Structure 1
Amino acid sequence: MHILLPPSETKRSGGGGVFSPGELANRAQLGDARTEVRSALEALSADEDAAAAALKLGKKSRGEIAHNRQLGDSGTLPAIDRYTGVLYDALDASSLDPAARSWLAAHVSVQSALFGLLGAADRIPAYRLSAGSRLPGLAAPLKQVWREAHGAIDWPALGWILDLRSKDYAELAPLPAGIGDTLLVAQRGPDGRTRALNHFNKAAKGDLVRRLAVSRPEIRSREDLLAWARGADLELSAGPGQDELTLVTDLGAPATAGAAAASAAR
């Protein structure tokens, strides 16, 4: 199986070494688009006011524009460690043992607005760019640039895909029909009914990926994942739409799910 994650607006600063775009995953298919998007972002970020407006940044976030001017020499971290926020806090990759981190490197990709589809272990600098951003220097809208570039990806070669990306990031690289499932997250209320989960959607997804990395099951299809979920005491089912799976979590559980899983895995 292969899991697709969204990135996060927030990112951990720091890192070591020098950024090497040629070492990123999917460089043959995405290399030209990466160069085009990076150049446009660097040109925009030379003017802080213009960048803040285009990237829709408030006063507290303006400092992040400096990251875009230092992509080549600010140091790198693995993508799975660079991103922070609810999903990545629940995943807590830094606390995983080497075997679990190796599983993430082999089975997880992150959909970046700046770099396209990254491997979890790809080393990247801090930056600020989201899927909905507008880059005046691009010949076409950002989403169009990435959709066209990702058309060259050999998606079936990745195996069965579990798509955890948010809508905006899925639109950067739409999956061909029939090669995987999108994960929906719901909560069960006191009345027994399920409802779409909003804020803790990300926490539940991060917790799921952590559980998979810790247990490292052999999964090649949705049926395999459903069978593993039953053994892991997770309520996962097909539907409601085509190519969709729904993970149901107890009301209030998502807030502590990541911490509980992390404690059990350590």
Structure 2
Amino acid sequence: MLILIPPSETKAVPVASPPVELASLALPELAPVRTRLIKALARLARGRAPAALDALGLSESQAGELAHNRELLSAPAGLAAEVYTGVLYDALELPALHRRGVVTDQLLIFSGLWGVLRPGDRIPHYRCSAGVKLPALGSVSAAWRKALRAPLAAHAGDQLVVDLRSGAYAGLWVPGGNAVTVRVLHERESGGVVSRSVVSHFNKATKGRLTRTLLESGEQPAKPDEFAWLVRSLGYLVEPGPAGTRPDAPVALDIVVREL
């Protein structure tokens, strides 16, 4: 089983540690693409601040992010498991899993700058979402869609792919037919009427907790129906999701939550 999750826009800043080693990251054959993106991002950060902030979708109050992007190859790098923070990662508790010896190698974190990372890969603080367009290089997403296609297909092989990504990150790589996508629905009752909706906080927290319990279980479901059975056995309410439009579309599942 291979579990795909998004990154987090909020990140810790590593200190007193060696810089990133591109050859040591997941799928080292992606190093040339990573190098091009890093250089383009650094050039952007060294240019006019208003243009750089606009390209990165940042406000003036976030101008400090440009300083981090200027020094990506020399800045201290920390474990991705510790650099990424925010709701999903707080619920996932990767550092605690590592301390307990829980294996997390089947987890892949998607990134606008790095493509994909393992939790144990070391990276610096950076700011570059999948929706960014870099001068002279163009769309970050387009670069990764091309670069990730063959390496990730080979890496996934015939494993079940559990896709918990959201937004633009889901478009960086499309898994084959042996895959599951998960949507989290928040169910609530008001005036006797039950409604369901996608709520960002519930979605991120539930996906973080789900990933943690999957890793803790040590189970390796090989097919979507085995995954659905496992998730139910872990205490979640699971229902079929919207049917896909392609013959090889991933199986869609909905997880229904009433409270965090």
Indicate whether the TM-score tops 0.5.
Answer: yes
Q: Which residue of 1 aligns with 2:147?
A: 149
CA RMSD of the aligned region, Å? 1.8
Once residues 180 and 60 of structure 1 are traced to their aligned partners in structure 2, the CA distance between those partners, rounded to angstroms, is 40
Once residues 97 and 141 of structure 1 are traced to their aligned partners in structure 2, the CA distance between those partners, rounded to angstroms, is 34
Once residues 50 and 193 of structure 1 are traced to their aligned partners in structure 2, the CA distance between those partners, rounded to angstroms, is 43
The yes-or-no answer on 1:129 pairing with 2:137 is no
Deviation at 1:167, TM superposition (A): 2.2
Deviation at 1:241, TM superposition (A): 2.0
Q: Which residue of 1 aligns with 2:111?
A: 112
Deviation at 1:83, TM superposition (A): 0.8
Once residues 72 and 24 of structure 2 are traced to their aligned partners in structure 1, the CA distance between those partners, rounded to angstroms, is 15
Shift in alpha-carbon separation, 1:18–1:97, aligned structure 2, 3 A: closer
Give the alignment of 1:26-65 within 5 angstroms. Answer: 26-28=27-29, 30-47=30-47, 48-65=49-66
Deviation at 1:100, TM superposition (A): 5.0
Shift in alpha-carbon separation, 1:157–1:133, aligned structure 2, 3 A: closer
Q: Is this contact kept in 2: 1:100–1:216, CA < 8 A?
A: no
AA aligned opposite 1:149: A
Gaps of 5+ in 2: 245-249
The yes-or-no answer on 1:245 pairing with 2:253 is yes
Tell me the secondary structure at the aligned position of residue 215 of structure 2: helix
CA displacement, residues 158-202 of structure 1 (integer Å, 9 cap, x when unaligned): 2111111112111122333x0311111102222444333333211
Gaps of 5+ in 1: 255-266
Q: Is this contact kept in 1: 2:186–2:202, CA < 8 A?
A: no
Q: Which residue of 2 aligns with 1:260?
A: none
AA aligned opposite 1:71: L
TM-score (norm 2): 0.88
Q: Is this contact kept in 1: 2:4–2:164, CA < 8 A?
A: yes
Once residues 156 and 215 of structure 1 are traced to their aligned partners in structure 2, the CA distance between those partners, rounded to angstroms, is 26
Shift in alpha-carbon separation, 1:230–1:53, aligned structure 2, 3 A: closer
Once residues 236 and 74 of structure 1 are traced to their aligned partners in structure 2, the CA distance between those partners, rounded to angstroms, is 43
Once residues 194 and 53 of structure 2 are traced to their aligned partners in structure 1, the CA distance between those partners, rounded to angstroms, is 45
CA displacement, residues 186-245 of structure 1 (integer Å, 9 cap, x when unaligned): 022224443333332111111111111222223222222222122211112332223211
Q: Is this contact kept in 1: 2:56–2:132, CA < 8 A?
A: yes
- Across the two proteins, how many residue pairs are aligned to each other? 247
Q: Which residue of 2 aligns with 1:83?
A: 84
Once residues 145 and 187 of structure 1 are traced to their aligned partners in structure 2, the CA distance between those partners, rounded to angstroms, is 35
Deviation at 1:12, TM superposition (A): 0.6
Shift in alpha-carbon separation, 1:95–1:187, aligned structure 2, 3 A: same
Shift in alpha-carbon separation, 1:97–1:23, aligned structure 2, 3 A: closer
Deviation at 1:97, TM superposition (A): 4.8
Q: Which residue of 2 aligns with 1:163?
A: 163
